[in-house]
Structure 1
């Protein structure tokens, strides 16, 4: 079994409405099709890498190859956990928890996207709750970070609702123009004081060496 060698395949986060888990290849294809059908409205650009403006087939391929790359490039010093998001068995999108030098820094970063059909129903907030529970409750993180374009009201709203605080700005170039993102930080104490939905984590014990090393 693949999970005997790659225990992350057995990791699952369960919230009242969602299941987050590494997808198998058939599920990954279905998630890629959700992406190809659209993840934001016309004229919007929520990502610094403009993959959602590619033709639908290339959007799907971007999702598939990105997921494979995150597995193949995994190390304790640099990891990226991409999880499919499922509601009643239906794929909705993907979330990611990633870190550099996590055993020392104990900081994580997140990104996410959901298909347009699932926007505006609180699923994004619930999925982020699950990621934060894994980070703080299971892995011992001290901070969670994210960067959001200043005009991305939906993502800004999710982060503020979850207790993130302003932590400066970042300036980047997108399509030849300067774009400004807010850097947001959620510290462990604020997460502990946050009203949170219940999250059940399955299969985490055998995964810990992949996040923390063997010490």
Structure 2
């Protein structure tokens, strides 16, 4: 009997670290995703996101997030993809998301990452652990040669994670985080050579099926 995992092999992918489980968000995960986002991610006075999606009214935010998840899944193809990993503790608590995406990956071998955590679990090292997980997967299983990221200059948490992992400066740009608000975004890049690997081993399920789905085998 054909399963959903057979139809959409990305759902077979699972990354496990000492404290976390990362797997692509499924429809049944969307309520937990929305609850975590609505619980608060950042100081309401300013937003770290280039698109101020957390500013949406409470009655609008759930539909916006569901549509975004479905849109990313719908547009996923071997050349261009963005995988939204849900991040759970081993006990099953939903903490946030870790995204990783690429355009023309077969040629450029470059990935980009972005993430968020609910405020109640920030500053516990989870951001470092979950980004290290997707970087290990990208470099060791997909053959990525470069990883890009960025953060507004006051976002010390994100920039600190990047420094710990070995990212180097890659320029900057001006972004509008809210209407009329201009911020300076610091751009960063990481090579496999510079990557400061964690002292733990990543456990991965569904790696071969995912690579085949993305046209890498």
Normalising by structure 2, we get a TM-score of 0.93
Size of the alignment, in residue pairs? 213
Q: After TM superposition, give the deviation of residue 176 of structure 1 in Å.
A: 2.1
Query: Counterpart in 2 of 1:16?
Result: 18
Aligned mates of 2:65, 2:138 — CA distance in 1: 23
Q: Choose the corresponding residue for 1:187, options 166, 182, 191.
A: 191
Q: Do structure 1's residue 198 and structure 2's residue 201 form an aligned pair?
A: yes
Aligned mates of 1:136, 1:41 — CA distance in 2: 33
Aligned mates of 1:9, 1:94 — CA distance in 2: 15
Q: Do structure 1's residue 47 and structure 2's residue 33 form an aligned pair?
A: no
Query: Counterpart in 2 of 1:69?
Result: 71
Q: After TM superposition, give the deviation of residue 11 of structure 1 in Å.
A: 0.4
Aligned mates of 1:130, 1:195 — CA distance in 2: 9
Contact 1:78 1:99 in 2 (8 A): yes
Aligned mates of 1:214, 1:122 — CA distance in 2: 32
Q: Which stretch shifts more, 6-15 or 19-28?
A: 19-28
- Summarize deviations over 1:54-78 as a string: whole Å, max 9, x none: 1233333332221111110111121
Q: Choose the corresponding residue for 1:109, options 91, 112, 123.
A: 112
Contact 2:132 2:197 in 1 (8 A): no
Q: Which stretch shifts more, 139-148 or 164-173?
A: 164-173
Contact 1:126 1:197 in 2 (8 A): no
Query: Counterpart in 1 of 2:168?
Result: 165
Unaligned runs of 5+ in 2: none
The alignment yields a C-alpha RMSD, in angstroms, of 1.4
Query: Counterpart in 2 of 1:86?
Result: 88
- Summarize deviations over 1:10-64 as a string: whole Å, max 9, x none: 1000000000002332222111111011111231311000011112333333322
Contact 2:14 2:21 in 1 (8 A): yes
Unaligned runs of 5+ in 1: none
Q: Choose the corresponding residue for 1:208, options 198, 205, 211.
A: 211
Query: Counterpart in 2 of 1:28?
Result: 30
Q: Choose the corresponding residue for 2:181, options 159, 167, 177.
A: 177
Aligned mates of 2:112, 2:216 — CA distance in 1: 22
Normalising by structure 1, we get a TM-score of 0.94
Q: Cα distance 1:85–1:15, how it changes in 2: closer, same or farther (>3 A)?
A: same
Q: Choose the corresponding residue for 1:141, options 144, 148, 170.
A: 144
